[in-house]
Structure formats: structure tokens, C-alpha cells
Amino acid sequence: METDYIIIGGGSAGAVLAGRLSEDAAVSVALLEAGGGGDDALIRTPLAVAAILPTKIHNYAYETVPQPGLNGRRGYQPRGKGLGGSSAINAMVYIRGHASDYNHWAELGNPGWSWNDMLPYFIRSEDNQSLNGPLHGKGGPLAVSDLQTDNPFIETYFEAARQTGFAFNPDFNGEEQEGVGPYQVTQKNGERWSAARGYLFPHMGRRPNLRVETGARATRILFEGARAVGVEYVQRGRKLTLRARREILLAAGSLVSPQLLMLSGVGPAEQLQRHGIDVLRDIPGVGRNLQDHPDFVFGFKAKSLDLVGFSPAGMARMAGHGRRYLASRRGMLASNAAEAGAFLRSDPALPAPDLQLHFVVAILDNHARTLHAAHGYSCHVCLLRPKSRGSVTLASADPAAAPLIDPAFFAEADDLEAMVKGFKLTRKLLDAPALRQVTRRDLFTAGVESDDEIRAVLKARSDTIYHPIGTCRMGPGRDAVVDARLKVHGLEGLRVADASIMPTLIGGNTNAPTIAIAEKAVDMIRAELNHDR
């Protein structure tokens, strides 16, 4: 069994790699995805994210190791399982990040990754249904649209922002990121548009050179000397191998890509030896440098049936919305929950916003694992460029075991202090008369006033907003894992192309950037292929 390229993982990045590389009929591509087909009514219906997030439906639902910065609590790490990966279970917010993030990547020794280098890939991937202009793309595989919810409550949030003095920003991916505004989402006609739906589904069964294996869990990358030549995987209980004539592209996401490298003998030698794994290449950076956005969620009960919630009147209203969604794909079921947001600076002297808000039209408590019999709203505030660095390490040499995930939230005291500022700024907005008028009860922060009280509630309630990156960091030097062409240092025939290669967190959500990374990877792979032809 041989193919030109093997892609491990069919998520945001893997779907792009497989879809794009198989455009060339002369190359053969095989995609190995551990989960299923990634296409059902739950995935397609945006609001069903509320049912997926707290469960194991299409979701690995990992836990972190106990976090000293969070009073010893274990954090939650949902990750998508199935074609589309996390883009099939995420909140669909379409954000590219700040130009300075990519310029920083280039400054760290990664030529070709500046904002001017990356912008064409964002535009190439995008099919924006409403926004025009030089910064937006039309006709790309990734549908991006305005929300189809027609929810009047969002105006209340915007009014509160106006009352607080925050500028309105109608397009966070335009010239300026800062301000308060609506989110655009990866949807088309009110349905989720995962990376698989955009890049993969239209070609499956139609391109003879594209082979997609689901329920195929890679367990090890096989090497001959320093060259990666194949992948061992398990499918329907059978152990199988597939060989690659040209390259293996690892896209299993920030938590599994480093794990698979380590299981294959590539990683910190001392750790591999501890687990009885033969060391092929000692790369200390594999699994290090884990970064994630620490996030705190305010929650309020409120007097409005325009907010998603559990009540007899709310249920009746939801039934109406269900009928409307079936008929026109509009209304509450088209909601991604986090309908609007903001990018703010905790200090006006900062060169870019360091805080992001997600305004949610429901009470969100403990990743929707704790439900409230009420209507209400929530507001996330997260720190965009935390200083803390965590890790992904092996729990055992068994590929079926989850890795040990340590985001090290608030390990650096500066992160907690920046979040204190973020808490106060967000609260100013939430305290504005427009929201005050409709609010019944502050669920988590009543009486929290002093800095010490704020620190305490932050430690007691913060967790991820689902953006782990950095565990196969791109860069020069011994602690980096891949070079600027995404090739694993010191090895041949092996690249990593997913969120794990980001050297530092970007100022925003990570799906669109991961898709852009994969688009760029395809360009680099094609250039080498054409050179060899």
C-alpha cells in the first residue's frame, strides 16, 4: 500500500492539505482520520455546539493535569474528532489575528511568515458571503458569513459598549482589529462550514487520487534511517501500514501531533527513554511551548427570551425557532452562541489589543457542563498573548492513552495581573445601563470588588477558550521542532502542518490561522514537487 503523501489527521489543517494536494491529479494523497465522517445534523446546526461541547460526541473531551494556577483544578480540553476536526465542533468565530503576530513569527527566524506573506493565504481560503474589499476573499473553500440569527439582544450589548465608550468595529478582520462588534462565522446559509465541508467533502469519491480513511488512528510514523517512509495505524481493530513515496504530513493537532512524534522516537530523549521508546532524534522542543488563551466567563440571569435558556416559555420559543431554521436556516439555531465580541487593550500604550471578549447569548458555566434553569447571557474575557508556557508529555508508550496536557495557566504571575485588568475592563462594559436594565442576577462575580477578590475568582473559575498551540514550534534552534518550511529538524520526508507549529499565540481564535498555515504548507510542498519533476 503506497501513496505519494500521507496526511495524519483530517481536522482544520488536514482537510486543507488533502483537498488542495489532490487538486493535482498526478499525485496520490491518503488521509488518515481517527474519528468519523464529520457530517451530521449536530455538526451542521450551529447551536448544537452547546450539545457537543460538554460531551464526547465528536469530541475527545480531554482533561489537563491539575493546574496550580487554577487552585489545583483540572482544565477541560475539548478537541474535535472526525473529518473537520475541531472546526466541526468549534464556535465558528472567524478571526485571523493581528498583523503584528505574524510579523513577530518572521522576526523569530521564520522567513515567509510575516503578515504580508500570510494575508494571501487567508484571502485564498475565504469565501466571504457579505464583506468585500481587498482584505477579503470570495470563492475560496471556507465560507464566512454574518450570523443568520436576527437576534435583537445583540443590540443591547452594542448599546452597552457605546455607553462605555468603546468604539464599534464592524469587521475585526479589516484594517483595524480593536473595538466592539459582531463576529463573522464559518457558516454558509446558516449551516456550519467546517474545513472538511469546504475542502474535502466536495472531492471525496470524485477524485481517484484522494483516499480518505476514517476510523483510522495513526499509532506511529515509520522511518528508514532519518527518512519517514510510512505510517502504522489501527482501523477496525486491525493494525495496518501505509507507505509514502514523498512525504508524511502530520496534522493531528496541538495535543496529538507531539504525542505521535514522541511515540515514533522523535522528542526529548530522556522522556522517550523513560517510556522505553527508542530515540531516533532527540528534539527537546517536542511537546514543549504549549500556549493557550486563559479565559474567564462572566454569567448573568436576564429578563429576555431572546437569550437561549431553559424555561417553559423559552422551550416554546425554541420550537418556533426550530421550525424557522428548518424552513429558512435563520433564527436562534443558526447561533454560534458567541455572537459578538471585542478586542481591547488593557493598557493604551500597548501596540495591539491584548484582550478578546466573546459575548454569549446564554448562560455559559463550566463549558456548558453545568446547566441553569434560566435565561441569561455571558461574556468571556481572555488574554491573547500569555507568558506562561506549558507542555504535552507522554502518559505512557501506549498510543491509545491520552497525553498529559499541562497548559500551565497563570504559571507566570504577569498573566494573572493582565487578567485582573481584563476583568475590570469587561465589567465596565457589563455594568453599563443597557445591560444593567435587563439583568436579574450576577451569577459568579457578585461582591467581587478588590484586586484580591478578582484574583481569587479568576483562579477559581478560569480555564481555556480552546486555542492550544505551539507544541511543535516552528523556528530555528534546538528547541524548535520544525523549520520555516515546516520540516521536522534533522529528518526527511516529514512535516508538521497544524496549530502546533505556531511559535506564539496569535491575537484571536485559531481556526482561520490554522487553515492559512495549511494553505501555505501546500504551496511549499507543491513548489518542491514541481522542482523535482
Ligand X SMILES: Cc1cc2nc3c(=O)[nH]c(=O)nc-3n(C[C@H](O)[C@H](O)[C@H](O)COP(=O)(O)OP(=O)(O)OC[C@H]3O[C@@H](n4cnc5c(N)ncnc54)[C@H](O)[C@@H]3O)c2cc1C
**Catalytic positions:** 467
Cell 480540553 sits on residue: 77
- For residue 79, which of 527, 510, 456, 518 has the smallest C-alpha distance? 510
Identity of residue 261: L
DSSP 445: -
Residue number with CB closer to ligand X (286 or 434): 286
SS3 of 40, please?
Answer: coil
- For residue 203, which of 81, 14, 22 has the smallest C-alpha distance? 22
Least distance CB 168 / ligand X (angstroms): 21
Least distance CB 440 / ligand X (angstroms): 28
CB-nearest residue to ligand X: 11
Q: Which residues lie below 8 Å from residue 280, measured CB to CB, with a gap of 6+?
A: 223, 226, 264, 265, 266, 491
Residue number with CB closer to ligand X (91 or 438): 91
CA distance readout (Å), 473 to 183, 299, 532 = 29, 35, 27
Least distance CB 223 / ligand X (angstroms): 17
Cα–Cα distance, 322 to 331 (Å, whole number)? 8
Q: Residue 75: which H helix or E strand, with range?
A: strand 73-77
* Site residues, ligand X (CB under 6 A): 8-14, 32-35, 53, 78-82, 85-87, 89-93, 95, 217-218, 251-254, 256, 260, 466-467, 498-499, 509-512, 514
Q: Which of 207-244 are b and which e, b meaning 16 or more Cβ less than 10 Å from the residue's Cβ? A: bebbbbbbbbbbbbbbbeeeebbbbbbbeeeeeeebeb
Least distance CB 455 / ligand X (angstroms): 26
Q: Which residues lie below 8 Å from residue 493, measured CB to CB, with a gap of 6+?
A: 227, 228, 229, 244, 246, 247, 248
Strand pairing partners for 359? 340, 379
Cα–Cα distance, 261 to 484 (Å, whole number)? 18
Least distance CB 90 / ligand X (angstroms): 3
Strand pairing partners for 247? 5
- For residue 343, which of 85, 152, 60, 93 has the smallest C-alpha distance? 93
Least distance CB 59 / ligand X (angstroms): 7
Residue number with CB closer to ligand X (251 or 342): 251
- For residue 83, which of 232, 171, 210 has the smallest C-alpha distance? 210
As a 3-state breakdown, the chain gives helix, strand, coil percent values, each rounded to 5, of 30, 25, 45
Contact between residue 394 and residue 263 where contact means Cβ atoms under 8 Å apart: yes
Least distance CB 465 / ligand X (angstroms): 7
Least distance CB 35 / ligand X (angstroms): 4
Cα–Cα distance, 320 to 166 (Å, whole number)? 35
Least distance CB 31 / ligand X (angstroms): 9
Handedness of CA 525, 527, 528, 533 (dihedral sign): positive
Provide the strand spans (E) within 225-324. Answer: 227-235, 238-250, 266-267, 281-282, 288-290, 294-302
